[in-house]
């Protein structure tokens, strides 16, 4: 054996020993010594690449692979892993998809890549295949990752059949709670209550488990922080905002290293502040939008935070910034255009540019959002005393929409406020004729009869009002199946004279004690007192703005109270819907380092 061969033999033995002991810095130096003697040695190059990966020096590892093209076919997995860790996820996926007959480690890397790309259905299929065809010490890790995928599928409303998973680790219990939160329906808090219990169980399990593993207090608190912030989110969804805020604040006070956790907790505190305490919210949103978060948050989380940024700019009256942020938001999230435009319109209205705001909203008035956007335009116009524009907007609606009781009531009141009684009467007449003609939503017809009767009665047209009441009482469609007197027909085969006739007992009608036959009776005597023209409601000094009963869909209050000419000149600040809080960095995933034989709890890829 030559001296060179002898040296190489001893260096390789040393390299093998260093690799077994996890001494990667020393292994890197030894690999370089080997390459000094044999610069193209593939085994030494492979060990050098692995050492760089274990030291998280992914760029250096890629440089070695790309410098020696002959290595690429043998190091496809290592190259894909480096690209994945450098957030070049799409390129990593191309490599793993090109590997023929991939081993288990390649499949697991592919699952991680699909998870990062938020292709959860495909990711679920890969994990299911791995779990079915593997039998080793990493079962818990795979089930934890599978549970994380199921949380996202539940959030998206997927109909994928969900397998039952064990909950014997704190990560699995945590993910089970996240899945309950994701599947909680609006108004039903049962799943949220169950999730709260599981999160508290996961918190205790986590503390006990990490203490047994000899973790430091600081490390334990970091791990508990994620569970506690998710618990805060669960409580916030239940409306227990003070408890949620306390948990968020406590988690941030620990100054966690996880910037994603800081971003989520900060954003959720800002949503609890709403339009109050805006200076605190500005500070929180800086933490929620700091650099380095683009690869740490899901697209759903980033969308919610970006939307809240737009709202905060609105609340702080930063008009130019609000418009800029909304334009960027629409570009990044085309499915949220209506929400962004609504914020822009409110900002313009606050600046007294109501017509510009309405024009902006009208551009988005289409499909299922049409009517709601039109009504938002109406609100903006009325708040800015643009009565003629408001009337024009309502009159340009479709025939069906103009027949809705709320729209009818609003149009009638606006015409009356302008002294145009004929147009107000025509609106009522057209709406009644619409329902007579189409015979749909007949309940609305009953409301309109009553509205028409009240309208004419207030105008002193008692006979017309009475005719309306007669129509109301005789209409079967108003009260459903009405019992109507039928003419009694003789039974077949029997003479009419033999039919039994019910005798009615005649009773003498009673007259009021103060009845005067020379005085004309009050024509409104059959109406309830509060509907008579001479009725004046007593004012309640404790609540001078108490609303009166009105037609469903109409603005509350009597006609004079609803009169737009008598409305207060102060303009309320519209408050758009606050974006929901963001869940924590969400389902937990356990990841292990490449080629590590020793199982490390809580390790990450």
Structure confidence at residue 544 (pLDDT): 45
pLDDT category at 240 given cuts 50, 70, 90 is very high
Return mean pLDDT, the chain.
Answer: 79
Kindly give, in sequence order, each residue whose CB lies less than 8 Å from that of residue 63, ignoring residues fewer than 6 positions away.
Answer: none
| Residue 361 or residue 438, greater confidence | 361
Q: Give the tens place of pLDDT for each residue, 510-520.
A: 777 777 777 77
| Residue 405 or residue 26, greater confidence | 26
Kindly give, in sequence order, each residue whose CB lies less than 8 Å from that of residue 574, ignoring residues fewer than 6 positions away.
Answer: 346, 349, 379, 380, 383
For residue 441, pLDDT over 90 is answered with no
Q: Give the tens place of pLDDT for each residue, 488-503.
A: 444 444 444 444 445 5
Structure confidence at residue 158 (pLDDT): 79
Report in angstroms the alpha-carbon separations of 428 from 144, 208, 422. Answer: 63, 71, 10
Q: Give the tens place of pLDDT for each residue, 528-566.
A: 777 777 777 666 555 444 433 433 333 333 334 333 333
Return the C-alpha torsion angle 294, 300, 304, 310, nearest 10. 60
Structure confidence at residue 482 (pLDDT): 39
DSSP track, 276-295: SSHHHHHHHHHHHT-TT-TT
Mean pLDDT within 200-223: 93
For residue 576, pLDDT over 60 is answered with no
Structure confidence at residue 267 (pLDDT): 95
Mean pLDDT within 370-380: 85
pTM for this prediction: 0.70
Structure confidence at residue 367 (pLDDT): 72
| Residue 335 or residue 562, greater confidence | 335
**Residue ranges with strand state E in 136-275:** none
Structure confidence at residue 546 (pLDDT): 41
Q: Write the Ramachandran bin of 493: left for phi over 0, alpha for psi from -120 to 50, otherwise beta.
A: left
Rounded (5°) CA angle 435-437-441: 30
Mark out the alpha helices in 351-398 (DSSP H runs). Answer: 354-362, 370-383, 387-395
| Residue 560 or residue 183, greater confidence | 183
Mean pLDDT within 560-581: 38
| Residue 515 or residue 196, greater confidence | 196
Mean pLDDT within 281-309: 92
Structure confidence at residue 601 (pLDDT): 40
């Amino acid at each position: 054996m030559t001296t060179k061969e002898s040296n190489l033999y001893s260096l390789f033995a040393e390299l093998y020993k260093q690799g077994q002991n996890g001494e990667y810095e020393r292994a890197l130096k030894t690999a370089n010594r080997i390459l000094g003697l044999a610069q193209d040695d593939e085994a030494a190059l492979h060990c050098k690449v692995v050492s760089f990966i274990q030291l998280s020096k992914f760029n250096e590892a890629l440089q070695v692979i790309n410098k020696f093209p002959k290595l690429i076919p043998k190091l496809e997995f290592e190259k894909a892993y480096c690209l994945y860790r450098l957030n070049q996820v799409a390129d990593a996926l191309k490599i793993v998809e090109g590997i023929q007959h991939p081993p288990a480690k390649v499949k697991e890397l592919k699952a991680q890549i699909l998870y990062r790309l938020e292709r959860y259905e495909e990711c679920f299929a890969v994990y299911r295949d791995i779990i079915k065809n593997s039998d080793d010490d990493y079962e818990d890790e795979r089930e934890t990752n599978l549970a994380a995928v199921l949380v996202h599928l539940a959030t998206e409303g997927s109909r994928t059949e969900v397998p039952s998973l064990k909950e014997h680790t704190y990560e699995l219990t945590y993910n089970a709670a996240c899945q309950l939160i994701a599947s909680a329906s609006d108004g039903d808090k049962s799943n949220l209550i169950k999730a709260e219990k599981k999160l508290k169980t996961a918190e205790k399990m986590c503390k006990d488990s990490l203490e047994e593993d000899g973790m430091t207090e600081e490390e334990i608190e970091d791990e508990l922080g994620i569970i506690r912030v998710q618990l805060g989110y669960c409580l916030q969804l239940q409306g227990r905002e003070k408890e949620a805020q306390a948990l968020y604040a406590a988690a941030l006070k620990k100054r966690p290293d996880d910037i994603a956790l800081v971003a989520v907790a900060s954003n959720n505190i800002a949503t609890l502040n709403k339009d109050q305490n805006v200076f605190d919210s500005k500070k929180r949103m800086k933490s929620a939008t700091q650099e380095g978060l683009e690869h740490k948050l899901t697209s759903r989380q980033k969308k919610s935070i970006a939307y809240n940024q737009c709202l905060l700019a609105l609340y702080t009256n930063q008009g130019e910034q609000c418009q800029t942020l909304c334009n960027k938001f629409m570009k990044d999230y085309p499915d949220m255009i209506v929400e962004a435009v609504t914020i822009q319109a409110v900002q313009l209205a606050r600046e007294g540019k109501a017509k510009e705001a309405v024009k902006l909203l009208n551009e988005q008035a289409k499909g299922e959002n049409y009517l709601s956007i039109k009504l938002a335009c109406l609100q903006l116009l009325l708040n800015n005393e643009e009565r003629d524009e408001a009337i024009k907007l309502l009159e340009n609606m479709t025939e069906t929409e103009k027949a809705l009781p709320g729209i009818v009531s609003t149009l009638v009141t606006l015409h009356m406020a302008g002294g145009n009684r004929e147009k107000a009467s025509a609106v009522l007449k057209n709406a009644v004729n619409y329902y007579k003609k189409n015979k749909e939503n007949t309940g609305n017809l009953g409301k309109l009869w009553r509205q028409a009767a009240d309208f004419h009665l207030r105008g002193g047209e008692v006979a017309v009002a009475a005719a309306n009441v007669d129509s109301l009482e005789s209409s079967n469609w108003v009260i459903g199946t009405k019992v109507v007197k039928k003419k009694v027909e003789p039974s077949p085969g029997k003479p009419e004279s033999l039919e039994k006739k019910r005798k009615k007992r005649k009773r003498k009608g009673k007259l009021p004690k103060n009845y005067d036959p020379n005085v004309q009776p009050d024509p409104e005597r059959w109406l309830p007192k509060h509907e008579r023209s001479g009725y004046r409601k007593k004012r309640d000094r404790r609540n001078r703005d108490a609303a009166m009963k009105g037609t469903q869909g109409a603005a509350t209050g009597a006609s004079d109270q609803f009169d737009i000419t008598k409305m207060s000149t102060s303009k309320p600040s519209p408050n758009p819907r606050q974006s929901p809080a963001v869940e924590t960095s969400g389902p937990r995933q356990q990841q292990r380092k490449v080629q590590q034989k020793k199982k490390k709890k809580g390790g990450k890829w």
